Amino acid sequence: MSHENERNERILVIDDEAANLKLLDKMLRAQGYENLVLLNDPREVIGSYQQARPDLILLDINMPHLDGYQVMEQLKALNDPLLPPIVILTAQNGKDYLLRALAAGARDFITKPFDRNELLMRVRNLLDAHLAHRLIHDQKKVLEEMVQIRTEELRNTRLQVVQRLGMAAEYRDEETGNHILRMSHISALLARKIGWSEAACELMLNASPMHDIGKIGIPDAILLKPGKFEPHEWEVMKTHAAIGGKLLDGDDSDLMCMAQEIALSHHEKWDGSGYPNGLSGEAIPQAGRIAALADVFDALTSARPYKKAWTVENAVNLIRENSGKHFDPKLVEIFMQQLPGILKIRERFDE
Ligand SMILES: [Fe+2]
Ligand SMILES: [Fe+2]
């Protein structure tokens, strides 16, 4: 047998007359179609369809129990995006009749008595069309899955880069990793309580650890100096915000954009007296305002080599006094309401 003749497409044939089934079986087998499912009871179509997953359906119209139209209704109700073409086997002619079958989902007709050549030609054309359709459908699914995997990889890679940058900054800083954890969790909590979406809060959690990344660019003699800064040293120290903004600039992912915004604006103050740009009020990105509040609170209540930890009470008083000066007053209000949750975060990431 030639290669052409070995066809393994599955064909489902439904006709209540045994003679017709037998004839179709013979014609199709002679052409090399081995995967045939023959039914003379239309009530078995759906079960058989789901089991055999045919590539083509040949369907009689006039049958007991269910006619061909009803069978097509049942098949359509399966909502299978890969429903194969349906060919009506019919002795009837007439335009209305054909239109009704087309409207019900038939793709083509074969008139009885069967003409062998006509039958085989239609079967082959429709099978080819269906296999091409299925191939495209499968490829689309594979591509969609690939895009999803790549997107996830990209997201993870970005997160890794950002977290490692944060670690790099910590190596040079007196601030501990726990400060970063507390500050970022407090930031995410405040963001949630002012109504940010869950996704945006997660961004905040991952982006805010970068707030001091610019300290990488500050000379050791200043960064690690014990005790108070001279005014010129303080000016150098302040450049960490702009350096951080520059370091994280140029990527358009949500994560990097927010990290950049926070690094650049976390020392701006509500009344315009902050740095590097002297922004005020709502001109300061909200992410930066949130990070500023969380950062200052945690820095105050943490011990550093050059200072003791403030009590929570003193830190809270300072924040209240600076509402509308250093801090966004609306955020301070939320901060006060959320103090129990904030203290829980402090306990969770204790030094
Ligand atoms: Fe900072
Ligand atoms: Fe900090």
Residue 281 and residue 323 in contact, taking contact as beta carbons nearer than 8 Å: no
d(CA 90, CA 112): 6
Give distance in angstroms: CA of 196 to centre of ligand 1.
23
Helix, strand, or coil here: 36?
strand
The length of the chain is 351
Give distance in angstroms: CA of 340 to centre of ligand 1.
25
Give distance in angstroms: CA of 211 to centre of ligand 1.
6
* pLDDT of 1 above 50: no
Q: Determine what percent of the chain is predicted with pLDDT higher than 90.
A: 71
Give distance in angstroms: CA of 329 to centre of ligand 1.
20
Average pLDDT over residues 137-165: 87
pLDDT level of residue 246 (50, 70, 90 thresholds): very high
Give distance in angstroms: CA of 266 to centre of ligand 1.
6
pLDDT level of residue 250 (50, 70, 90 thresholds): confident
Task: Name the token pair of 336.
Answer: 């006060």
pTM comes to 0.63
Residue 231 and residue 290 in contact, taking contact as beta carbons nearer than 8 Å: no
d(CA 83, CA 79): 8
Give distance in angstroms: CA of 177 to centre of ligand 2.
10
The distance between the two most distant Cα atoms of the chain, rounded to a whole number of Å, is 105
Average pLDDT over residues 75-96: 88
Residue 312 and residue 345 in contact, taking contact as beta carbons nearer than 8 Å: no
Give distance in angstroms: CA of 245 to centre of ligand 2.
15
Give distance in angstroms: CA of 163 to centre of ligand 1.
17
d(CA 270, CA 280): 5
Give distance in angstroms: CA of 199 to centre of ligand 1.
25
Helix, strand, or coil here: 277?
coil
Give distance in angstroms: CA of 318 to centre of ligand 2.
17
* pLDDT of 163 above 80: no
* pLDDT of 2 above 80: no
Give distance in angstroms: CA of 335 to centre of ligand 1.
20
What is the CA 342 to chain-centroid distance, rounded? Answer: 30
pLDDT level of residue 6 (50, 70, 90 thresholds): low
Give distance in angstroms: CA of 252 to centre of ligand 1.
23
Give distance in angstroms: CA of 227 to centre of ligand 1.
17
On average, the pLDDT of the chain sits at 91
Residue 266 and residue 292 in contact, taking contact as beta carbons nearer than 8 Å: yes
List CB-based neighbours of ion ligand 2 within 5 Å: 212, 295
Residue 88 and residue 81 in contact, taking contact as beta carbons nearer than 8 Å: no
| pLDDT tens-digit series, residues 88-144 | 998 877 778 888 888 888 999 888 888 999 999 999 999 999 999 999 999 999 999
What pLDDT is recorded for position 322?
97
For residue 244, give the nearest of 274, 222, 276 by alpha carbon. 276
d(CA 182, CA 162): 17
User: What amino acid is encoded at 12 in this protein?
Assistant: L
* pLDDT of 214 above 70: yes
Query: Exposure of 45 by Cβ count < 10 A (0-12 exposed, 13-18 middle, 19+ buried)?
Result: buried
Average pLDDT over residues 229-244: 95
pLDDT level of residue 3 (50, 70, 90 thresholds): very low
CA distances to 66, 84, 183, 208, 242 from 266, in Å: 73, 61, 12, 9, 10
Lowest mean pLDDT among 95-104, 122-131, 197-206, 250-259: 95-104
d(CA 334, CA 247): 31
What pLDDT is recorded for position 176?
67
Structural element, H or E, at residue 337: helix 329-337
Give distance in angstroms: CA of 256 to centre of ligand 1.
17
Lowest mean pLDDT among 64-78, 161-175, 226-240, 322-336: 161-175
Quickly list DSSP for 203-232.
HHHHHGGGTTGGGGGS-HHHHT--SPPPHH
User: What amino acid is encoded at 332 in this protein?
Assistant: V
For residue 349, give the nearest of 209, 195, 202, 162 by alpha carbon. 209
Give distance in angstroms: CA of 176 to centre of ligand 2.
9
d(CA 267, CA 262): 9
d(CA 4, CA 194): 69
Task: Name the token pair of 251.
Answer: 């990527």
Q: Give all strands of the β-sheet with 33-39 in edge-to-edge order.
A: 33-39, 7-14, 56-60, 86-90, 108-111
* pLDDT of 175 above 80: no
What pLDDT is recorded for position 168?
77
Give distance in angstroms: CA of 179 to centre of ligand 2.
7
For residue 14, give the nearest of 94, 106, 125 by alpha carbon. 106
Average pLDDT over residues 75-85: 92
What pLDDT is recorded for position 4?
53
Give distance in angstroms: CA of 217 to centre of ligand 1.
12
